[in-house]
């Protein structure tokens, strides 16, 4: 048993050390799966749904019995004086001051109230349930926004890493060319001004490389913030995803009839209609049952066990009939009706905007697809030129400079192809959002 425990400790320790030496590289799918459960936006959306559930419980509590207990204790330092007519004791025409009451009074009672008829309360429950459905829709919309933002941020990092790779390659080529030109200057074969020109290019490339490294660091921190990973934690992006990007055939994306944005607006419209109905219900009377019971103690001496206690009990119903409230209810109804009209215009505008987004994304994907095809042809042509130049260099018919320039051109074309391919994937994400199918990027879909 002890041997197994030691092995487990060594295994855990070894994994921890390996994790510290080489932080986990996140793929796009891993980033998305982590973000939908751990992003700050997802946590807030889930809390909003929970809060809406508690609002339903609050609305339901108003139709349940309301039970309250109360108690009062009064000790009169000086009893109040009341003037009584003298006729009570045969002294007509006079008033006699008399102190009435007891110095100590103690009241204790319990009251119970139960709503019998109140249309506004039941409408309030419907509004609370509708609000919970609205928050769930908003949570789903938040998930789509998180998927969209994380995907774009991930591909931005890949694009920057490809650009940095190109810069580093150019630095390597320029450095090799600089060393070659330096020897030629020493042999008086090349002018020194050509060497200085290469040095300027090399210095500029090194500065661009440092700037791009800083850009990638900022982009990673932004992605960490999006998916909910602390900034101080080690985090790397799986750059091998670039090699996994493939240009798929253009699929048929159908324009959705019901986008989540429209569902949210329609649910808001339902809530406004319920609120208008609730305000109209305020014109109806309300009926409730009441019951109270209690004990009262009065005595000049505070002797709770010897002096008598007096009990009381009351039951009844309470009817409230609204007659005139200064036109307050009518004003509230018209406010909601105005908001409802404004929301109808929002729905029309959103529907048209979503249609435009879909068409733009569709056209953008088709255009990017063609550009990727062009870059693919350019890459094939650059590979052919490089092969021909290499053959000429082998035969002594081309200079090393020509070979380096051709190799650099081939590398730039490859980077341009990859960059265009990444842009194609980002445009595809735009179309997935416009067609309401972003959730299919998750591993469980």
> pLDDT tens, 36-72?
999 999 999 999 999 999 999 999 999 999 999 999 9
Average pLDDT over residues 227-238: 91
Q: Point out the least confidently predicted range of 21-30, 114-123, 155-164, 336-345.
A: 21-30
Mean of per-residue pLDDT scores for the chain: 86
Question: What are residue 236's DSSP bridge partners?
Answer: 25
Burial class (CB in 10 A: 0-12, 13-18, 19+), 237: buried
Strand locations in 228-373 (E)? 236-237, 286-299, 309-320
Can you tell me which residue has the tokens 């959103």?
Answer: 350
Model pLDDT for residues 299-346, shown as the tens digit of each residue: 877 777 777 888 999 999 999 999 999 999 999 999 999 999 999 999
**What pLDDT was estimated at residue 6?**
32
Return the structure tokens found at 49. 């749904």
* Higher per-residue pLDDT: 294 or 185: 294
String of DSSP letters for 217-237: HHHHHHHHHHHT--TTS--EE
CATH numbers and ranges of domains, the chain: 26-76+110-441 (1.20.1600.10)
Residue 189 DSSP class: S
Q: Point out the least confidently predicted range of 100-114, 124-138, 271-285.
A: 100-114
Q: Is the pLDDT of residue 127 over 80?
A: yes
Instruction: Answer yes or no: are the C-beta atoms of 156 and 222 closer than 8 Å.
Output: no
CA geometry: angle at 370 spanning 365 and 375, to 5°? 120
φ/ψ of residue 268, rounded to 5: -65, -35
Confidence of residue 1 (pLDDT cuts 50, 70, 90): very low
Confidence of residue 75 (pLDDT cuts 50, 70, 90): confident
CA geometry: angle at 48 spanning 46 and 50, to 5°? 70
Instruction: Answer yes or no: are the C-beta atoms of 121 and 59 closer than 8 Å.
Output: yes
Average pLDDT over residues 188-210: 86
Confidence of residue 251 (pLDDT cuts 50, 70, 90): low
Average pLDDT over residues 375-390: 91
Q: Is the pLDDT of residue 99 over 50?
A: yes
pTM attached to this predicted model: 0.81
User: In what order do the strands lie in the sheet containing 309-320?
Assistant: 66-75, 104-117, 286-299, 309-320
Average pLDDT over residues 405-412: 85
**What pLDDT was estimated at residue 20?**
46
Q: Is the pLDDT of residue 19 over 50?
A: no
Average pLDDT over residues 357-373: 91
**What pLDDT was estimated at residue 318?**
94
**What pLDDT was estimated at residue 91?**
75
Q: In the chain, what is the straight-line distance between the N-terminal and C-terminal CA atoms, in Å?
A: 42
- Give which of 343, 349, 351 is closest to 270, Cα–Cα: 343
Cα separation of 145 and 435, whole Å?
A: 14
Strand locations in 300-434 (E)? 309-320
Cα separation of 437 and 148, whole Å?
A: 11
Average pLDDT over residues 358-378: 91
Q: Point out the least confidently predicted range of 290-294, 299-303, 387-391.
A: 299-303
Confidence of residue 229 (pLDDT cuts 50, 70, 90): very high
């Amino acid at each position: 048993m002890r041997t197994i425990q030691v092995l487990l400790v060594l295994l855990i320790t070894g994994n921890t050390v390996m994790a510290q030496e080489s932080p986990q590289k996140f793929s796009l799918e891993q980033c998305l799966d982590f973000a939908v459960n751990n992003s700050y936006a997802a946590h807030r959306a889930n809390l909003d749904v929970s809060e809406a559930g508690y609002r339903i419980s609050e609305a339901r509590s108003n139709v349940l019995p309301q039970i309250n207990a109360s108690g009062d204790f009064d000790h009169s330092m000086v009893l109040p004086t009341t003037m009584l007519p003298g006729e009570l004791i045969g002294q007509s025409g006079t008033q006699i001051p008399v102190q009435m009451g007891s110095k100590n009074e103690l009241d204790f009672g319990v009251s119970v109230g139960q709503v019998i008829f109140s249309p506004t309360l039941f409408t309030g429950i419907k509004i609370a349930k509708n609000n919970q459905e609205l928050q769930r829709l908003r949570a789903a919309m938040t998930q789509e926004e998180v998927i969209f933002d994380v995907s774009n941020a991930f591909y931005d990092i890949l694009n920057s890493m490809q650009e940095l790779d190109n810069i580093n390659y150019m630095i390597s080529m320029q450095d090799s060319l600089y060393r070659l030109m330096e020897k030629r200057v020493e042999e008086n074969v090349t002018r020194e001004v050509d060497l200085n020109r290469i040095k300027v290019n090399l210095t500029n490339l090194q500065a661009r490389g440092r700037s791009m490294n800083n850009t990638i660091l900022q982009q990673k921190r932004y992605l960490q913030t999006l998916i909910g990973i602390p900034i101080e934690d080690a985090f790397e992006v799986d750059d091998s995803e670039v090699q996994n990007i493939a240009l798929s055939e253009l699929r048929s994306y159908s324009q959705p009839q019901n986008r989540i944005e429209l569902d949210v607006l329609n649910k808001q419209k339902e809530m406004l209609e319920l609120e208008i109905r609730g305000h109209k219900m305020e014109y109806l009377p309300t009926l409730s049952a009441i019951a109270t019971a209690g004990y009262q103690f009065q005595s000049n001496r505070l002797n709770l066990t010897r002096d008598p206690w007096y009990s009381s009990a009351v039951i009844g119903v309470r009817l409230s009939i609204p007659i005139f409230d200064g036109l307050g209810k009518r004003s509230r109804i018209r406010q909601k009706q105005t908001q409802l009209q404004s929301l109808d215009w929002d729905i029309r505008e959103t529907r048209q905007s979503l249609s435009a987004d879909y068409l733009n994304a569709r056209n953008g994907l088709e255009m990017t697809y063609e550009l990727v095809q062009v870059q693919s042809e350019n890459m094939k042509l650059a590979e052919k030129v490089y092969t021909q130049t290499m053959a000429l260099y082998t035969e002594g018919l081309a200079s090393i400079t020509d070979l380096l320039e051709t190799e650099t051109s081939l590398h730039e074309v490859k980077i341009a192809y990859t960059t265009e391919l990444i842009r194609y994937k980002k445009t595809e994400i735009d179309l997935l959002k416009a067609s309401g199918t972003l959730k299919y990027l998750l591993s469980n879909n």
